[in-house]
Structure 1
């Protein structure tokens, strides 16, 4: 699941493909994961543990083989949806298995910390595998690498696991597959609108309008179906819990701030022209920060520290990283300049992620815990796509704005500009002639202005995100006292 996660634009620039296409294939898989979580508990209760793992792994291997053998984008899209379903069905079963092995009163919390550590750091690890396999072999071999990991899981299941059940067998009947289809179509069409909206000028293009309408229609059908069936897959009563509402809201804001990391890696590749294998190695700075953040917040959570302080300091750390990124966006930056904010950003995201999940699940009745977890996953699906869309659109608008400003303020009579132009003409005139050399020199200056506009735009974006992080921190710390004061002022009038 974490393949290309937070690396979509960077990976697109390296592989010379559209960032929107990578993000949409990722979203297709993510949407399928959301849908599969509706059915996971029923399927896991029906099969024995080892049989379940062998079945899901085997089907995942067949899907990966299918992806490696085709180049049809439509077929790859369908296979990505199916892969997403079996990805979560295969991976979700390891969480209860891990909980059983942890002898601690808060085994669920500890298990979640392990799970989300792998999720947050997995993008860099899987991209490293991509780097090695593509540089030395090819894209099909990259898929085969993932396939071999599934074979290792099968070997472990055969050698180490027994075939017992974790609970009572629950028969597979009255599965509401129609609702699953409605939800999948709604999520897929909604993601299409968010990801491709700017590219197709939003509702000026028929594809965006149609997908937006389909997302609303099938989303409404899903809600109506769940309200009318006897055994709903999703209980909307979950929305009555304050923890769920606050947690989902904070998750959304967290992902908006986190989505800016994509811009950092893109600037490394397109502006600073760092080698892509070097950029992947640089990302491990963020990974180390994430591991430190997960461990630190985990220690506080196990000590029953108030979520208010964990969330407040977490968003403060993210805000600090955003402000530290601002002065690093200059043409000849160094790894020493960018390393500190990358590390701090990793601490912030590792600090916040698992406590947010635990907060959503806390206070929810036991029969609603699954729906609370699904609510969090759905929030991450939408916030990932909204964050991608928002940053892409804001970057595009600001790049255009600053490019025009730089072009208008470019002083062609400046000695520095004249010397730069003469250097370019001297470089290309001897090879292509004066006319073609003039065109190439103009394009080179235009490219330099575009790169400078990108750097200025990112300074602006990270400043705004830093301010957003500070505002969220203030609201978290002040919400409780403000609510108490409001109630005290209101009591005389009740």
Structure 2
């Protein structure tokens, strides 16, 4: 850890530190929801298909997931303050290129690089959030705060971008994100000491090969899932080739991890029952969360609602997420069985889906959707 030197300077109050952390993590989280802020506006500006906009988001996520294991090596080698500014600078540069370009392939490449840089800044933010939380509830509060932000960010991005896209082109969102990094960066520069949160570990034997294999496999799998239906699945040679290539890459990755002394991804975790159950629950949860996108499409395509009104409806979803996070974290702190928390959560999701089935019609009152959302 940082030894006798505190992470933040003595004059920085606790509230200033909290504001700094919020200003630091907000732009990085906004990049997660940027591609889905308004798919039609993005497609119109770049002159691409809506599926291309969706795939740019997949490429970003693939970079975050693929780089996560390798990122820890850089985190332990570079001092935290320096690492934050490197990650922030990379995100500003990639955002500027996304702001300037009209080329689809340039957009894909720099969204991928943006995801790698975002992984670094998010890792720093999570670590610093946990460093400010003390006591037995620190773990629960820390994860609750972060995942609350993560779940809300899609609806929040739609809310703040809808009025902007009525007046400006889509690329102006990247310009806003560039400037949104500045307050957090300035506050971090003055308030944080140049300390390390981990013991320095040299950058040798970096497993770039596993990263490339893993990230490429994720990108190809995402390509199949995004473009498959549009191109009639395996009737299209590109979909068939991508499927075969992704299977080969993932098989190669597994064999490589088993042969390495220090694997990039420790596959031993799959031997633990709780990990497999947790992974299954997350998979089911995100399928259920995906229906929120279907709901937004229904509001726009069937009810003819504009993005601003859809965004205000999504305020109900944000309120529900915040209430749900408070209740669930409280249940965990009180040592209630995790299965009970899961049952409560998935029962509410079941009620939401059944309710929406009855509400979906060619004509409906938007206010009636607020409670289920």
TM-score (norm 2): 0.87
Q: 295-304 or 132-141: which moved more?
A: 132-141
Verify the 8 A CA contact 1:3 1:123 in the aligned structure 2.
Answer: no
- Please give the per-residue CA displacement for 1:18-63, whole angstroms capped at 9, x wherever unaligned: 4322221111000100111111221111111111111110111111
5+ long unaligned stretches in structure 1: 343-494
- Please give the per-residue CA displacement for 1:435-468, whole angstroms capped at 9, x wherever unaligned: xxxxxxxxxxxxxxxxxxxxxxxxxxxxxxxxxx
Residue number in structure 1 paired with 2:14? none
Distance in 2 separating the partners of 1:26 and 1:7: 6
Residue number in structure 2 paired with 1:252? 283
Q: Is 1:291 the equivalent of 2:322?
A: yes
Verify the 8 A CA contact 1:129 1:142 in the aligned structure 2.
Answer: no
**Of 127, 151, 158, which residue of structure 1 is paired with 2:158?**
127
Distance in 1 separating the partners of 2:201 and 2:35: 40
- Please give the per-residue CA displacement for 1:67-104, whole angstroms capped at 9, x wherever unaligned: 11111001100001100010111111111111111112
- Please give the per-residue CA displacement for 1:419-447, whole angstroms capped at 9, x wherever unaligned: xxxxxxxxxxxxxxxxxxxxxxxxxxxxx
What's the secondary structure of 1:341's corresponding residue?
coil
Instruction: Name the CA shift for 1:47/1:262 in 2 (closer, same or farther; >3 Å).
Output: same
Distance in 2 separating the partners of 1:26 and 1:243: 30
Verify the 8 A CA contact 1:4 1:11 in the aligned structure 2.
Answer: no
Verify the 8 A CA contact 1:32 1:85 in the aligned structure 2.
Answer: yes
Q: Is 1:74 the equivalent of 2:105?
A: yes
Q: CA deviation at 1:136?
A: 2.6
Verify the 8 A CA contact 2:144 2:329 in the aligned structure 1.
Answer: yes
Residue number in structure 1 paired with 2:228? 197
Distance in 2 separating the partners of 1:147 and 1:113: 27
Distance in 1 separating the partners of 2:142 and 2:154: 20
What's the secondary structure of 1:257's corresponding residue?
helix
Aligned pairs (5 A) from 1:138-153: 138-153=169-184
Q: Is 1:323 the equivalent of 2:354?
A: yes
Distance in 1 separating the partners of 2:58 and 2:290: 14
Verify the 8 A CA contact 2:41 2:165 in the aligned structure 1.
Answer: no
Verify the 8 A CA contact 2:156 2:318 in the aligned structure 1.
Answer: no
Verify the 8 A CA contact 1:63 1:79 in the aligned structure 2.
Answer: yes
Q: CA deviation at 1:113?
A: 0.7
Instruction: Name the CA shift for 1:6/1:143 in 2 (closer, same or farther; >3 Å).
Output: closer
**Of 87, 93, 97, which residue of structure 1 is paired with 2:124?**
93
Distance in 2 separating the partners of 1:133 and 1:274: 16
Distance in 2 separating the partners of 1:289 and 1:6: 22
Q: CA deviation at 1:12?
A: 3.0
Distance in 2 separating the partners of 1:176 and 1:13: 39
What's the secondary structure of 1:340's corresponding residue?
coil
Q: Is 1:11 the equivalent of 2:38?
A: yes
Verify the 8 A CA contact 2:35 2:56 in the aligned structure 1.
Answer: no
Verify the 8 A CA contact 2:80 2:195 in the aligned structure 1.
Answer: yes
Instruction: Name the CA shift for 1:14/1:144 in 2 (closer, same or farther; >3 Å).
Output: closer
Q: CA deviation at 1:174?
A: 0.3
- Please give the per-residue CA displacement for 1:211-256, whole angstroms capped at 9, x wherever unaligned: 1111111112222221112221111111011110001111111122
Distance in 1 separating the partners of 2:331 and 2:291: 27
List structure 1 runs of 4+ shifted beyond 4 angstroms: 1-8, 13-17
Residue number in structure 1 paired with 2:192? 161
Instruction: Name the CA shift for 1:63/1:3 in 2 (closer, same or farther; >3 Å).
Output: closer
What's the secondary structure of 1:233's corresponding residue?
coil
5+ long unaligned stretches in structure 2: 1-28
**Of 249, 252, 259, which residue of structure 2 is paired with 1:228?**
259
Verify the 8 A CA contact 2:129 2:142 in the aligned structure 1.
Answer: yes
Q: Is 1:243 the equivalent of 2:270?
A: no
- Please give the per-residue CA displacement for 1:266-285, whole angstroms capped at 9, x wherever unaligned: 11111111122111111111
Structure with the greater relative contact order (CA < 8 A, sep ≥ 6): 1 or 2? 2
What's the secondary structure of 2:38's corresponding residue?
helix
Q: Is 1:269 the equivalent of 2:300?
A: yes
Distance in 2 separating the partners of 1:184 and 1:69: 26
Backbone CA RMSD of aligned residues: 1.8
Distance in 2 separating the partners of 1:138 and 1:7: 14
Distance in 2 separating the partners of 1:2 and 1:182: 27
Residue number in structure 2 paired with 1:28? 59
Aligned pairs (5 A) from 1:181-196: 181-196=212-227
Distance in 1 separating the partners of 2:35 and 2:43: 14
Q: Is 1:113 the equivalent of 2:154?
A: no
How many residue pairs end up in the alignment?
341
Distance in 2 separating the partners of 1:15 and 1:141: 11
Residue number in structure 1 paired with 2:23? none
Distance in 1 separating the partners of 2:171 and 2:235: 38
Residue number in structure 1 paired with 2:83? 52
